[in-house]
């Protein structure tokens, strides 16, 4: 049907670039600021990361909608590049880069799971799912899954995720203090936990 691949119907499977990893998480969460152009921005990064290089500087984290701009606008200090970009093989800007390497390391999964920026994205995604995903948890689960991987879950995936959501709801409804550390309500906290799982899927950051 597409012998010359003019429709890009096929190609190799690869992890997307470091800037795009952040962008697709922002897009799934509904927090992405689509503004084009302008000055560089200072999105969240691990505390103290900007002081690890030879030249120590203060990273003044953006507190408004600027923190949700695309990754290409992230301010870049050569002495201490943003770790959220470097862990996904972004160029360090000290040399010309004609081809980016692509690695697959445990640190990348840990970044998606524990970095405070992705935690914030998960909270945003949970709010989006509860607002736009439908009235039932089944509809919301399908909606959340499609936001992340652009396809509906199969029966096994749906069963696993539904079981996880039920477990989180049960635990957080009986432990209000734990729920409040995550979100305003136990339901929102449970969906935040599920969103963190979906944002950490290999398929989420992989171009199929």
| pLDDT tens digits for range 127-153 | 999 999 999 999 999 999 999 999 999
> Once rounded to an integer, what is the mean pLDDT over residues 27-36?
95
Whole-number Å distance between alpha carbons of 34 and 36: 6
DSSP state of 16: P
pLDDT at 91: 86
> Once rounded to an integer, what is the mean pLDDT over residues 84-93?
88
Whole-number Å distance between alpha carbons of 75 and 81: 8
> Once rounded to an integer, what is the mean pLDDT over residues 21-46?
93
Confidence grade of residue 101 (pLDDT, cut at 50, 70, 90): confident
pLDDT digits (tens, 9 = 90+) for 61-81: 898 999 999 999 998 888 788
* For the chain, the helix, strand and coil percentages under 3-state DSSP, each to the nearest 5: 50, 5, 45
Residue 169, Cα to own-chain centre: how many angstroms?
22
pLDDT at 147: 96
Q: Which residues contact 160 (CB under 8 A, 6 or more apart)?
A: none
Pick the residue with more confidence: 12 or 88? Answer: 88
Whole-number Å distance between alpha carbons of 192 and 123: 5
pLDDT at 51: 74
Whole-number Å distance between alpha carbons of 119 and 112: 8
* Alpha helices (H) in the chain, listed in sequence order: 18-29, 83-86, 106-114, 116-132, 137-149, 155-173, 176-180, 186-199
CA angle 37, 56, 115 (to 5 degrees): 65
Whole-number Å distance between alpha carbons of 84 and 150: 24
> Once rounded to an integer, what is the mean pLDDT over residues 94-111?
88
pLDDT at 77: 83
Confidence grade of residue 185 (pLDDT, cut at 50, 70, 90): very high
- Answer positive or negative: Cα dihedral of 195, 198, 204, 205: positive
pLDDT at 59: 84
Q: Which two tokens stand for residue 125?
A: 């995604």
Whole-number Å distance between alpha carbons of 30 and 28: 6
Contact at 8 Å (CB) between 152 and 145?
yes
What is the β-pairing status of strands 206-207 and 14-15? antiparallel
> Once rounded to an integer, what is the mean pLDDT over residues 49-67?
82
């Amino acid at each position: 049907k597409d012998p010359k691949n003019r429709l890009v119907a096929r190609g190799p499977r690869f992890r997307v670039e470091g800037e795009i990893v952040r962008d697709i998480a922002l897009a799934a969460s509904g927090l992405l600021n689509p503004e084009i152009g302008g000055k560089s921005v200072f999105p969240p990064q691990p505390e103290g990361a900007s002081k690890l290089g030879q030249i120590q500087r203060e990273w003044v984290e953006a507190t408004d909608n600027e923190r949700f701009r695309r990754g290409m606008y992230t301010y870049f200090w050569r002495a201490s590049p943003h770790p959220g970009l470097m862990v996904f093989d972004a160029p360090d800007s000290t040399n010309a880069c004609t081809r980016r390497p692509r690695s697959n390391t445990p640190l990348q999964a840990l970044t998606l799971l524990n970095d405070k920026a992705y935690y914030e994205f998960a909270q945003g995604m949970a709010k989006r799912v509860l607002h736009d995903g439908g009235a039932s948890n089944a509809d919301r689960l399908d909606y959340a899954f499609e936001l992340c991987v652009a396809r509906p879950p199969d029966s096994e995936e749906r069963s696993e995720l539904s079981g996880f959501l039920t477990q989180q709801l049960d635990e957080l409804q009986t432990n209000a203090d734990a729920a409040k550390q995550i979100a305003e309500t136990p339901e929102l906290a449970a969906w935040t936990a599920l969103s963190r799982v979906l944002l950490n899927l290999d398929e989420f950051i992989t171009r199929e």
